[in-house]
Amino acid sequence: MHFSSSDAAAVLPANTTLAGGTGAFSATLNTIGNQTIAATDSLVSSITGTSGAIAVGTGTSPVSVAPGSAGPASGSGSSQSFTFTFTDPRGYQDLNVVNVLFNNFLDGRNACYLAYARPLNVLYLVNDAGTALLPGLSNSQCSVAAGWSASGSGNTLTLTVNLTFTASFAGNKVTYLAARDLEGDNSGWQALGTWGIPGATTFPSANAVNPSRGSGSSQTFTFTFSDTKGAQDLGIVDILINNFLDGRQACYLAYSRPTNTLFLVDDSGATLLPGLSNSQCTASVTGSSTSGNTLTLSLNISFTAAFDGDRVIYLAARDATDANTSGWQSLGSWTVQ
């Protein structure tokens, strides 16, 4: 009995003689896709049998394709050269399409939304509706300068683009990355950075979080807020950590500057708790101070194991009269692990 396969890289058993017309053999298939194995009588070649299709590399193993990083991970400006990395354990050549999206939250509409097709070596920009690829590299939110590049080494694909953002797209944006491979594995969207686009300044402002990017189960964060009328004009400042802008099942904190009191919002996102612990986090104040127009607030935050994953850090500020607000600003990202 002789064995053959549609997989040219298969490891097959040697020719053998069956005992009583039956036998058991092992074979290893190495090429991804649907493959077959055939057995043929060594003396009468017309006597042959072929297996059904065997799916190779398409099982339920964990998705391993992944975004690597966005650089810089935080900052601000109307234009910037960004470098994004993506990884695939089968080699960067196995990557199919990688995506980069800048927006206030995870929405392809009215966004700076890029798609790079690695097999074609073509970079696309998605239209304002988030539904179609544009023929050029400019939409109402951003434009890509000439000279973008993509290169691969080992398991890593590196994409470098110089982006210019429009004034109408002002505000703090989250940098989301995603990747798909040739087998259809999809990493899903990952929040890996934030970027501030200059625009008109309101009286109260949410300015920064330090560190703006990192990982771990606990961290002391320093948040800064300002008010053009002076820090004493600030009323309530808010901190929300979640995978999107939603106060439910979040680490959602409110600090009252006039009373120097920190509150934590409950899991439903509707009520202030009497303590500083919910199902997502536990917090404590390690310091607060004002200087000129700026309020600096330092908090130690410990996250629960159930809250693991990539999270965005949103800040907002209101003045003492509640007449002016900064709106929510995405100023950092954190991987809870």
- Name the band, by pLDDT with cuts 50, 70 and 90, for residue 63: low
Taking all residues of the chain, what is their mean pLDDT, rounded to a whole number?
A: 92
Span 22-38, average pLDDT: 74
Measured between alpha carbons, how far apart are the two ends of the chain, in Å? 54
Residue 43 pLDDT exceeds 60: yes
Domains of the chain with bracketed CATH: 1-59 (no CATH), 66-197 (2.60.40.10), 205-336 (2.60.40.10)
How is residue 100 written in tokens? 């980069």
- pLDDT for 15 equals 76
- In this prediction, what percent of the chain has a pLDDT beyond 70? 92
Q: How far apart are CA 170 and CA 78, in angstroms?
A: 9
Query: Which has the closest alpha carbon to 103: 168, 176, 30?
Result: 176
Q: How far apart are CA 310 and CA 75, in angstroms?
A: 19
Query: Which has the closest alpha carbon to 244: 303, 127, 169, 328?
Result: 328
- pLDDT for 96 equals 98
Residue 88 pLDDT exceeds 70: yes
Query: Which has the closest alpha carbon to 207: 77, 334, 80, 326?
Result: 326
User: What's this model's pTM, rounded to 2 decimal places?
Assistant: 0.60
- Name the band, by pLDDT with cuts 50, 70 and 90, for residue 35: confident
| 318-327 residue pLDDT tens | 999 999 999 9
Q: How far apart are CA 240 and CA 59, in angstroms?
A: 38
- Name the band, by pLDDT with cuts 50, 70 and 90, for residue 60: very low
